[in-house]
Structure 1
Amino acid sequence: MSKIISVHSFRGGTGKSNITANLAATIARYGHRVGIVDTDIQSPGIHVVFGFDEEMMDLCLNDYLWGRCDIEETAYDVSSVLKDVAHKDSAIYLIPSSLNLGEITKVIRDGYDVGLLHDGFQELIDRLKLDYLFIDTHPGLNEETLLSITISDTLIIILRPDRQDFQGTAVTVDIARQLEVPEMLLVVNKALSNLDFTALQEQMESSYNALVAGILPLCEEVAQLASSDIFCLRYPKHPLSQIVEAIAKQILT
């Protein structure tokens, strides 16, 4: 049975795309076929983490949404990032969005058929035989985000230990409950090392009545990598990678 995981944050800058890429790669290593769709069409970026640039995109999600191609034609096999750490059945497919200014402007001006996006998700699962489909959503709440939340088996909400994030996350949590999402996990990112992580987890779980799957510390090595690689694959023994792996195992159960 395939599983759809939406990764969302109420505000930008939370590290959502990086966390999505690292979780997807970690799960793929266990021998799963994983897809990642960048539905942050107005400000796409997850392709960068996979070393995938605009020149490598013959087709992208925008082309599918404008009726130019089938959605599986926009899927690129990026399993090579796993190198020698993957199971023989491991696979990662990336469905990027366009960085072309005209394409982004068209989305902002004209919008797109959100129902078509829903159909595309299922087609990807069926045609690529995916075990897991990750949806990297646009920050905030819009029609696409609500659709992604509605069809998700698991919703992962990324937030920083910041009051603005706390308030916005409360809105997202309430909406997810109204939409009856089967599983909701909170991931706190960029937590300063001098914070009491146990107390922070208790505070988050009490405030939102939701499980905190992990707290990721603010990490200089992540900043130095500058989205040029998948951190958990580059530094598998790093404490942060171990936390990501623990979060991935919660998704797998």
Structure 2
Amino acid sequence: MKKSKLFTGLGVIVITGAFLIAADHIDAPSAMGTTADIADFFAFEPTTGSDNTVFAVDLQSDVLDGLEYGTFDESVLTEINIDTDGDLVEDMVIQAIPRDGRMYFFGPVAPTTTGLSSQVLVDVPLGDVEISTTTAITETTASGISIFAGPRQDPFFFDFGRFNEVLAPSPEDNSGFNVPGTDTFDGANTMSIVVEVPNSLIGEATGTNVIGLEVYKTWITTNRLQ
């Protein structure tokens, strides 16, 4: 079985829920501002009552207006980890890694290793798609999985300027945030990876949330080639 060895520990975001969002934009020092930096992770049903789940990963957030789109790093593997039995250990993974202008996907499949080391599961190819630029390009595989990779505007909204003023030792005006405030991320970009997968291919949901919706526990890791 052919595999490429990678080691991770560069960034992790954990979420649970049928529609929940996690965002940090400032990862650990080893990943912050690098091509492995995780900005946002979204997991949701594409429509109410759908039998599919969409996983959307944003990498490499640029927090200054007018910056050009980045590029995916061919030495970074992005892995969507899915826990189906509630023990917070990945039972299924979907992997994505770029090569020569295309994003290659593998899985969903049980990983050969868990935790902070991963291997590219080249024996379980899912499909590949041209990395989009100005026009969105998607592919749908024979198994009904839709895939996308390319730059998109950063969806995060936060007023960093006002945040720093409120936190300053002696701010002139510490009355709170302005409404609606100034979005520091307006015009900033991320590199996005999106997978829509039938739930039947990723196993049973972990349980139900407070409003009765079935949920998975899922998180993202970025893995750099060693």
TM-score category, normalised to shorter length: under 0.3
Going by fraction, where is helix more abundant, 1 or 2?
Answer: 1
TM-score when scaled to structure 1? Answer: 0.24
TM-score normalised according to structure 2 size: 0.25
Q: Which has the higher strand share?
A: 2
